[in-house]
Chain A
Amino acid sequence: MPVRIWRTPLDIEKVKRPKAEIHIIKDQCKGCGFCIQFCPKDVLEESEEINERGVHPPRVVDESRCVLCGFCTSICPDFAIFVVEKQCKKEC
């Protein structure tokens, strides 16, 4: 059951939502579509370009939507996509 927050958390100023950095190793992708299909935030879509294998690798629609769930990283059978937390020195 999702938790409903009915008031603003007291530490909302201190806690920063981590920013995502999505890496796509285009020529490693075999075009299965798992990452695109199962991303909970619809961050990815099939790109127009064709990679070395003759398939369309994914492309990022909106990186800011990514919540770093890591599902794409784990569901990719070809290690062609992974997401890491963006390391920022200051607010980014």
Chain B
Amino acid sequence: MAKKDRTVLTGVHFMNGDVACAEGAMAAGCRFFAGYPITPATEIAERMARRMIEFGGIFVQMEDELASMAAIIGASWAGAKSMTATSGPGFSLMQENIGLAVMTETPCVVVDIMRGAPSTGQPTEGAQQDVMQSKWGSHGDYEIIALAPASVQEMFDLTIECFNLAETYRAPTFLLADGFTGHLWERVVIPRPEEIKTVDRKKPSVPPDKYMPFKPDEDLVPPMACFGEGYYVHVTGLTHDMRGYPKTVDPKIQYELVQRLCGKIRKNADKIVRTYEFMLEDAEVAVVAYGIPSRASVSAVKRAREAGIRAGLLRLVTVWPFPEKQVEELSNRVKLMVVPEMNCGQVVREVERIAKETPVHFIPKIGGEPHTPSEIFEVIRRTAKA
């Protein structure tokens, strides 16, 4: 559709986190964005409004976040890679249709630039208060994938990865950025289009009369026929059988369906989960962090090492499915764990659950100021001594 290629902005840029996220999405093949302005994610919508048309894609500002989420599900079923971006209050509005995306196995990306909460909260201050909501926000039992960027470069790179994971596992995938990373300006290197690895959804390999829209392959993910391809797919949010037809009173069908929707993420967790280790080889104290606090943690760990404490950092790139194996293995090696979070205790609960006997020290910080390296170092020093 595009005559001139003003598409992927290969090169080195000084860019805002939100803008990098939008550029990453378009580079990943996103061709439909529906959103609603909300601080601190408005810049994503604004960038999309300007740039999507250059890719031949569609930008729509919908009337609210409910409509935005519904529209991206529709666009995904029409064959487009689709995305929306919001913050806490909008994220709450989207929960209903996030459940629909999970149930209908619709690949889509939802970016949540987290801000001070609950309710309208602190629109201009970053936080990490929506992490549990991304996993448990909609009603019912389900699994999703969520990634937490810690730099503007990761806002670009992890958005691409979100799309790839969404297409591979046919699940809504979340980019959980705190408000600071969203508004940070940093150096971003954007590669050439051919260097960017993208994944497309599996398509059916059988003709329409043999195809069952929700019959999974070995990896528990069904190939996806989209609207307009002659497969006459019926999609519903009701509990359904493999043909997609509602079957709401058969306990076996509900059990198998919910088990598979959860199973396809849990069973493939090893392929999905990514973590980053810093100085963990001989560590006795492990800091487990994600997002902006992980950057302060790097400085804190270095300072601890200078002070003679064997500290290290496990940075969670994937927050959901939770990196259970990595955290468990780490808890067996170290004497204690420290978890800094910009909330009142969310990921730390998972760490405590998995670490079991290993003591876990939580460093909460809400209000709009990220953790400083000193704060984290003090806790490491105090708890390592004890």
Asked if the two chains touch in their complex, CB atoms less than 8 Å apart, one says no
B residues lining the A interface (CB < 8 Å): none
A residues lining the B interface (CB < 8 Å): none
